[in-house]
Every structure is written in C-alpha cells, then in structure tokens.
Amino acid sequence: MHNEAQNLTVFFDRLCHVLEPMGLSWELVCINDGSTDDTLNQLLALRARDTRVVILDLSRNFGKEAALTAGLLEARGDAAIPMDADLQDPPELLPAMVDQWRAGYDMVLATRSSRQTDSWLKRHTAHWFYTLINRLSEVPIPENAGDFRLMNRAILEALRQFPERRRFMKGLFAWVGFKVTSVSYERPERLAGVSKFNFWRLWNFALEGITSFSHVPLRMASYLGFAVSSLTFLYALKVILDTLIYGNSVKGYPSLMVAILFFAGVQLMALGIIGEYLGRLYEESKQRPLYFIRAYYGPSLPAHAQNSFDT
C-alpha cells in the first residue's frame, strides 16, 4: 500500500464480508510502502479492530516489487494471495480461486477478461509488451494476469530461494512453474486515489521485465552490427567498382556524413543495450537489502526475520 488511506476501510470490510463465510483461518498482511498520507494510522485502526491484520511499515518507498516480496516472505498460511488495496482486485473473486486451489492447482491466476478500464494507450502498449516479451523470453508470461493470484506454500518457499534484488515478479511467478490454472474477471475502476504508475514508470517496468528474462537484445545488437558491417563492405566494393570501371568519382560529404551518423547511432544503441545489462550486474553486485522494516505490528517477529538478504 502506498497512499491508500481512502480505500482501506472499504477494502477491509469487503474482504471480511467475503472471507468470513468461507470458514478459513486467515491473516491480512499489509505492507505500508512509505506512504505519506494517513495509511499507517488507518492500518493501526484496523489492527485494533482485528488482530489478524499484520502490518509491515517499510522505512521508505521501496517500490511495488520489493513491497510484494516483503508480503510473500511474511505470509504464513498454506496459500497466499497478493492484492492491491484500491479494490481493482475484487475480494469477491477469492472463493473461486480457493476452489481451484482445493481442486489441486498450485497457482490460480486472476486473468482480466478485458482492459476496458484502461486508456487506449495503456491497453495497446500492454498488448505490445506481452507480445514482445513472450517472443524474447524462454518462459511465457501470461497476458492480462497481474500480481493478483493464489499461490500455495510450495511456490512461496520456491520464491524464497531467489536472491536477486532487481525483481520482475510476474516473470518469477511464471519461472517457478508448478500446476497453474486461471479464473477470469472484469477489473473495476479504482475506488479512490490515482495510479502510482505513470507512462515513464511503466516504460522502465517493461525494460526491467525484458532484461530480467531475456538476453536476446544483446544477441540482436550483435546481429545488427554484423548486418551493418556486411552492408558497409558491399557498399565499399560498389564505390571501388564505380571508380575503377566506370570512372565515377566518389560522392561527396553528404553521403559520408549520413554514413557516419548512421554507424554512430548503431554503436550507441548497442552500447545502451549492453549498459542495461551491465547496470543490472552492478546493482546485483552491491548486495543491498531489498527493503528495511521500520516497524512491525503482528503476533511475533516477522516470519522472514532470519533472512539477511531481504530484511
């Protein structure tokens, strides 16, 4: 949760209304990801009402992937379901997800049947992203399935074994495998507030996904360099033949400048691709923790307090 104070009471009431008739033992793990509004006070009020609310108050805003990791590491149950607090992940879908889990599935995806609540640009860029990453990655990532999903204990334990800091959680969920099914739903509008993901953050998120699960861009840079070099060699032969056989003089500076600028652009693009991967190696080599917990409100110490790499 990041600045979701307006949504919390309604979210909790709807969640309880769905969960109580199911007869399950449950807890609600809330990650306050550096909120600057009244989110923490609202969470503390909810915990005063119901001690099944567990709160991890992070020391600052570490981002969605780190906060999601904190919640999954803290989850103690036989299964866990990540949810956004803005009610775009409707609690009313939980019984259907639990039914599929009880039927023997390890992971139950909540798949959007349409993206009508998104803008035209977001709908199409999301489709292009999934098309591109599934062509480049060896592990297919389901389209229109976000973090809203049920995962059993085996998957949660598998996710504990990933040491990387730069995380693309949708890719990690797909990478672990296991027996997967899905249920479809219509994603509603946010109850209140605005999305924290603008176009620039979504662009960086897409780059993170591609560079996390594919090295094809590096290979493409090599292929492009080879293709350009081959074309350059053929063009050089043409210039020589024009001069020796036909007596045509070599063309002047405009063509020369075009060639220089073109090759410079290709080189910079290749360096940029290499830089993306080199930057990931640099971040991973520092071995910094994923996040810090400023305060914990729960029945005992955090479930993952012994893992030095993530607390």
Per-residue pLDDT tens for 9-20?
A: 888 988 989 998
Mean residue pLDDT across the chain = 76
pLDDT above 80 (res 134): no
Task: Look at residue 296 in the predicted model and tell me its pLDDT.
Answer: 86
pLDDT above 70 (res 105): yes
- Write out the two tokens for 228: 């350009």
**Spatial CA neighbour of 304 closest among 80, 41, 43:** 80
Residue 29: pLDDT band by 50, 70, 90 thresholds? very high
**Spatial CA neighbour of 42 closest among 14, 4, 68:** 4
DSSP 8-state secondary structure symbol assigned to residue 251: P
Q: Reading across the β-sheet that carries 180-185, which strands appear in turn?
A: 79-80, 145-152, 107-112, 180-185
Question: pTM to 2 decimals?
Answer: 0.66
Residue 255: pLDDT band by 50, 70, 90 thresholds? low
pLDDT above 50 (res 196): yes
The answer to whether 106 and 151 are in contact (CB under 8 A) is: yes
Domain boundaries, the chain: 8-214+287-297, 216-285
For domain 8-214+287-297, give its CATH number from 3.30.360.10, 2.40.160.20, 3.90.550.10, 3.20.20.70.
3.90.550.10
C-alpha span between 45 and 53 (Å, rounded)? 10
Task: Look at residue 309 in the predicted model and tell me its pLDDT.
Answer: 37
Which residue do the tokens 């495998």 mark?
A: 177
Task: Look at residue 4 in the predicted model and tell me its pLDDT.
Answer: 86
**Spatial CA neighbour of 84 closest among 147, 160, 165:** 147
Distances, alpha carbon 48 to alpha carbons 6, 17, 18, 77, in Å: 18, 18, 20, 22
C-alpha span between 107 and 86 (Å, rounded)? 23
Query: What percent of the chain has pLDDT above 70?
Result: 65
Pairwise pLDDT comparison (281 vs 303), residue with the higher score: 281
DSSP lists the bridge partners of residue 185 as 112
What number is the average pLDDT over the span 26-33? 91
